[in-house]
Structure 1
Amino acid sequence: MMENAKYLIGFLLLAEYSSSVVSDFTCGTPLIGSRIVGGTDATEGAWPWQISLQQDNSHICGGSLISNQLVLCATHCFTHSTNPADYTVVLGAYQLLNPSSHQIISNVQNITVNSLWSHDGTPGDIALIKLSEPITYTKYILPVCVPPSSMDFPEGSTCTVTGWGNIGSGELLSSPKTLQQLTVPIISNTNCNTMYHIGADSDPSAVIVPSDQICAGYEAGKKDSCQGDSGGPLVCQVGGLWYQAGIVSWGEGCATPNRPGVYTYVPHYYDWIQTNGIPPSASSMSVLIASLLLVLTLFLMQR
């Protein structure tokens, strides 16, 4: 009896380990590679957390899947309405005008916007979309990792922004509207503020880019996120996993010199995401395994 109990404990520990490996694997780990840089077409499935937020079957914003029922987006995407019935979320999309068999369309159960946001440049440009039902992960639909508040993305870090937005000021993405990807370096808030003061009428001491935001792009411009990319992810690879550093928020023009893209800094809102979304918790399998291990341990201690 005692020997059998030991074998059972070993099996449960192995099961718990296997469960944790699968959980870690699904976050920020695309199953399809070939991510080409420089403002080009992405490979289908390369960014499996990218979603299209749609209103009346038209793309209005990007977003990112962070769990099987939660999407991270921007508050400014919901200035016209926060009624869930007005929106749908397309997951696994690649070419917006050429729907893929890999994509699914979900209704929206709830939208949570941050009350701090009032207009471009103000804090709180972050929102959570709760899907009507949990979705099943596929190699084309997987979540990105949400970085904890302690994680830092230093200046010069190479990251990627994706979306179906304009490819220039007033220049629409051409048919079939293939998902675009662009590699951009992180710019420190100090340097970004300095850039935004160049040619501006604002007080030189005024903070244009506050601490809840982060900049990415090039001093010379030419490459940037643009209208239609709003709400979408800026992701950086850390330790082999893709973490979402930013949410496309605002900027002056598109790819304008000294006006890099400004993103909501996701680590700053980690607690807000957990409070208003789905707090991290053990899976039901983990809870069951832990409970069985506790019972077995108590049983063996009594013998």
Structure 2
Amino acid sequence: MGVCAKASSCSKEAEKLDDSSSNFILREGNPCHFLETCCPVTQLLAKPRKPEAIKDVSCGYSNPGASVFREKVGSSKSGYADYGEFPWMVALLKTGAAGWVDENYLGGGTIIHPSVVMTVAHKVDTLKPEELKCRAGEWDTQSEYEAYTHQDRSVDKIIVHEEFFRIHVHNNIALLILKKPFIKEPHVGVACLSLALPPPGTVCYSMGWGEDFTKSAKYANLLKKITLPLVSGDDCQRRYRNTRLGSRYTLHRSLTCAGGEALVDTCIGDGGSSLVCPVGNPGDLRYAVVGMVAYGLECGTENVPGVYVKVPELYDWVGTQMAREGFNRSTYDVGTEAQFKLRS
């Protein structure tokens, strides 16, 4: 006899018992939520298993499935991320309710150090630290069935770029210093930051829980994964001048662009989420952050790319602020070998 349970609440011995060649009854007609496992009652644990210790790996490594969940829930250009696929992804939430409340969701952020989250300034420049918290390890906002729980952290300090210009969204970057560091787990990790942009046309990815406009949903329940080619600054500026913004539109040096395909785009509520490109060997599943979601015209309009904060342009600013706060900048260093492959 089996019952539905989190994978962490079922003993590892149950994995040996759960064999399709000898245990058809356990698997047939499984009524469990897709993030649960059907666990024999004799294998239920009094306390959930703690996450296994993970190696202190370098930044930027994806962990699709987070060692426990391997089913892909989306494979299109505008689909959903796998559980743990972007372990540096953070949800910015207003303080208040312990659970996920859509009205409290502000946007995305990126873990660049266990105690530091990078995001866009326009999401946090009017807030006090006590009004904001950061959540790592989230995936399905409407479920508590994930194998590992999310981690919430209070914000101690908000550092906004001193030349942030809200009207035109220039230098749109901020760092959030946390009161307590995040703990590395299979679904929580640190991102790499890139020193340079890959060539235009490079296929990169963004994510977020913002508006799921292809399904007419205000917010996505599952973390989205959007496939986006990079667009050169000159090309992006030309395309925007062909919109209602007109010929005076100028793309600032602190911004870059990606996308431009109909119905494939980040959207309202995704602001601050990272734009990441593959680095290193293709089989490594390693990424570096080249941008953050900033703005666009509508969502998913053909030939109109999304505009992203250009992280390489602001790389030195991030390093200066990290040093002032006493943090080691090596946490987000992608390394010379991987960086070289990024530029090629």
Whether these two folds match at TM > 0.5 is yes
What is the aligned counterpart of 2:254 among 212, 216, 219?
A: 212
> How much has 1:276 moved relative to structure 2?
1.0
Q: Deviations over 1:124-161 (max 9, x none)?
A: 1111111111222011000110112xx23210011000
What is the aligned counterpart of 2:204 among 159, 176, 198?
A: 159
> How much has 1:210 moved relative to structure 2?
1.6
- Give the whole-Å Cα distance in 2 for the aligned partners of 1:47 and 1:201: 34
> How much has 1:118 moved relative to structure 2?
2.6
Paired letter, 2:254: D
Asked which structure has the greater RCO (Cα within 8 Å, sep 6+), the reply is: 1
Q: Which moved more, 1:49-58 or 1:165-174?
A: 165-174
The unaligned stretches of length 5 or more in structure 1 are: 1-21, 284-303
Q: Deviations over 1:208-262 (max 9, x none)?
A: 21221110002x4321110110001000011143100001111111112332110
1:76 alignment partner in structure 2: 122
Paired letter, 2:210: G
Q: Which consecutive segments of 4 or more residues in structure 1 shift more than 4 A?
A: none
What is the aligned counterpart of 2:233 among 176, 189, 208?
A: 189
The answer to whether the Cα contact below 8 Å between 1:111 and 1:130 also exists between their aligned partners in 2 is: yes
Paired letter, 1:112: I
The answer to whether the Cα contact below 8 Å between 1:165 and 1:172 also exists between their aligned partners in 2 is: no
Distance 1:118 1:137, change over 3 A: same
% identical equivalent positions: 26
- Give the whole-Å Cα distance in 2 for the aligned partners of 1:273 and 1:234: 17
SS of aligned partner of 1:248: strand
1:297 alignment partner in structure 2: none
- Give the whole-Å Cα distance in 2 for the aligned partners of 1:245 and 1:131: 23
2:159 alignment partner in structure 1: 112
Q: In the comparison of the two structures, how many residue pairs are matched?
A: 254
The unaligned stretches of length 5 or more in structure 2 are: 1-54, 66-71, 98-103, 332-344
What is the aligned counterpart of 1:36 among 66, 71, 75?
A: 75
CA RMSD of aligned residues (A): 2.3
1:136 alignment partner in structure 2: 183
The answer to whether the Cα contact below 8 Å between 2:161 and 2:173 also exists between their aligned partners in 1 is: yes
2:150 alignment partner in structure 1: 103
What is the aligned counterpart of 1:54 among 58, 72, 93?
A: 93
Greater Rg over alpha carbons, structure: 1
- Give the whole-Å Cα distance in 2 for the aligned partners of 1:64 and 1:201: 30
> How much has 1:80 moved relative to structure 2?
3.3
Q: Deviations over 1:100-142 (max 9, x none)?
A: 4431111111111112223253311111111111222011000
Matched, 1:233 2:280: no
2:222 alignment partner in structure 1: 178
> How much has 1:36 moved relative to structure 2?
3.4
Distance 1:271 1:254, change over 3 A: same
